Chain A
Amino acid sequence: MSIIEELQPIFRSVFEDTGLIVTREMSANDVENWDSLNHITLIVEIELHTGLTLTTEDLMNLANVGDFIDMLESKGFIPNGAG
């Protein structure tokens, strides 16, 4: 399972879109409910799921989901069933 596949249920739950297909190219502008409050909820849920501790710097200069996934990978996150 890829990181995107593993995190997709979290995106779907936070943004209340059961059919949402998360891609590396996706950004906040592409998701209707991706506002500032839901952004906070998304990051909290991803910290809870991954166990990683993210910093403000980690979230700076991320252009899209792909950059976010790469950041999680660089911090050592390994999706279920991998590694």
Chain B
Amino acid sequence: MALVDVKEGDEVVTDFWVTEEKILQFAELVGDFAPIHFDSEFARNKGFDDTIAHGLFTASFISGVLGNSLPGPESVINELTLKYHRPLYKGQTIQVRVSVQRVVHAVNAVYLAITIFEKSSSKKVVSGRVICSYPSEDT
């Protein structure tokens, strides 16, 4: 998808299943084995129902939507801002929603809103905004 194909109101919604294996793979990738992610008793003592997924693990699913679908493989992230609303647990399914709020043709950029919901409850887990641009060949 190129900038010319993107318009305000465009939206993509994609589901991802959060498994214990994926959380472990993420921990190995980034080297974050904090007990809140792997020790159930520790997590419960901190007030959670069980171990929670890493915040950046949850947010990482945004990457797949941005890069594959909207604004697509020709775009890059310029700026990303996120706010966390509630924890994510293994076994839950998240729904990543990305929607175009504004297309800024003057600089080949797109401003998008991001929301990640826990699918079964429709409760918001993460919200944010992202500015993506389409680098030209001479960038």
CB contact under 8 A between A44 and B102, given known A36-B139, A37-B78: yes
**Residue B2 interfacial (CB < 8 Å):** no
Residues on A with C-beta less than 8 A from B109 are: 40, 43-44
Residues on B with C-beta less than 8 A from A53 are: 105
Residues on A with C-beta less than 8 A from B107 are: 39-40, 43-44, 59
**Residue B28 interfacial (CB < 8 Å):** no
**Residue A6 interfacial (CB < 8 Å):** no
On B, residues with C-beta under 8 Å from A are 78-79, 102, 104-109, 111, 131, 133, 139
Which of A39, A41, A55, A59 is in CB contact (< 8 Å) with B79? A41
Q: Are A48 and B105 interface neighbours, CB within 8 A?
A: no
The A interface, classified by DSSP as helix, strand, loop or mixed, is helix
Residues on B with C-beta less than 8 A from A55 are: 105-106
In whole angstroms, how far apart are the Cα atoms of A43 and B111 in the complex?
Answer: 11
Known: A40-B78, A44-B102. 9 other contacts (CB 8 A): A37-B78, A40-B131, A40-B133, A43-B104, A43-B106, A43-B107, A43-B109, A56-B105, A58-B106
Residues on A with C-beta less than 8 A from B104 are: 40, 43-44, 47, 54
Q: Are B106 and A56 interface neighbours, CB within 8 A?
A: yes
Which residues from 23 to 65 on chain A have a C-beta closer than 8 Å to any C-beta of chain B?
36-37, 39-41, 43-44, 47-48, 53-56, 58-59
In whole angstroms, how far apart are the Cα atoms of A71 and B111 in the complex?
Answer: 22
In whole angstroms, how far apart are the Cα atoms of A59 and B109 in the complex?
Answer: 14
